[in-house]
Amino acid sequence: MNKKPKGWYKSIAIRPVVGVKGYESYEKACNHVADTYFSTDEQTLRCKLLTNVRESMYVTLYALHKVGEAKCPAYWVSKDLLTALMQSELSVETESLNWAMKTGMFMLPCDTVFSPEKRSIYAIYWHYNAADGFLCWAATDGDSFFCRKLQFTENIKKFTYTDVQDLDPQLVAEFNEYLQAIFLRLILIMECRPELVDTESPVVRVNQGFAKDKAKDLYEPLWIGKNYSVKRDVEDKGGTHASPRIHWRRGFLRNQPYGQGRQQKKIVWIEPVLVMGNT
């Protein structure tokens, strides 16, 4: 790939973001995007994507290129929210996906989602092409990319997909299903719980030396679920029986009928609860 131009970070990112403890740096996540964006063109990638459906490289490159084109919009996902979402059953038809964001990056907490090689997945990149009805997403652990292209079929309101065959096909399919479940839950939660999504990114002046001209303006990250806490409950069975083990009471992301004649539907999240034994 061609060398990135000088000042690539400023030209490809909407704004420089302060580092967040427990997350990979935003600049590193953008670096993957820049490697693609400054060495490829969309028309060629799109052609390759449509004619080489089994090539994971083009799914990843297309997603990264479109994220670069959009200036790398990103949301940081809190660990508690991610944990709760993965304890929630997903039963939402594809017609309900309204795409709060069509292009972007999710920054995931480190040491939470692990690749088959036992490395942390720290970013998910995606682009939804509304005109042609397909989605490309790619996730990285810093060494490998995992990706999937989903083709949405409008007439039956469902989607089909093809997994890449670079590694053990069964292993890739299972891990991609897991990553896709995370991604879809995050997209849905942005729609049905907008109060969990930051809308402002305050400026933070960071001193990089004693001279005034060394100060640098950075921005706070935009969060999904920054102040979210996992719901907890204590189960009291009474009597002298041993306390039950800690367990999850599963949550649900689903369509709920409402309105006159209950003809309309909206997505609701019934949150999971971590049930603690009564000690």
Q: What count of Cα atoms within 13 Å lies in the side-chain half-sphere of residue 135?
A: 27
pLDDT of residue 127 exceeding 60: yes
Model pLDDT, residue 155: 42
Tell me the pLDDT tens digit for each residue of 47-63.
998 888 778 889 999 99
Q: What gap in Å lies between CA 99 and CA 77, rounded to an integer? A: 17
> What one-character-per-residue DSSP string does 212-276 give?
GGG-EEEEPPPEESTT---EEEEE---TTSPPPPPEEE-EEEEEEEESGGG-EEEEEEE--EEEE
Between CA 213 and CA 221, with CA 216 as vertex, the angle to 5 degrees is: 175
> Could you tell me the pLDDT band of residue 18, with boundaries at 50, 70 and 90?
very high
CB 186 within 8 A of CB 85: yes
Q: What are phi and psi of 86, to 5 degrees?
A: -75, -5
pLDDT of residue 67 exceeding 90: yes
CB 243 within 8 A of CB 278: yes
What average pLDDT score do residues 14-36 get?
94
pLDDT of residue 169 exceeding 70: no
pLDDT of residue 172 exceeding 80: no
Model pLDDT, residue 52: 82
pLDDT of residue 100 exceeding 70: yes
Helix (H) or strand (E) holding 276: strand 273-277
Q: What are phi and psi of 197, to 5 degrees?
A: -105, 125
> Could you tell me the pLDDT band of residue 161, with boundaries at 50, 70 and 90?
very low
Q: What gap in Å lies between CA 67 and CA 83, rounded to an integer? A: 26
> Could you tell me the pLDDT band of residue 156, with boundaries at 50, 70 and 90?
very low
Cβ burial, residue 97 (10 Å; 0-12/13-18/19+): middle
pLDDT of residue 25 exceeding 70: yes
Model pLDDT, residue 239: 55
- Give the N- to C-terminal CA distance of the chain in Å, as an integer: 59
Lowest-pLDDT choice from 24-28, 218-222, 233-237: 233-237
Q: What gap in Å lies between CA 111 and CA 35, rounded to an integer? A: 25
- Helices 56-69 + 42-51 axis angle, to 10: 150
Q: What gap in Å lies between CA 195 and CA 222, rounded to an integer? A: 13
Lowest-pLDDT choice from 39-43, 115-119, 149-153: 149-153
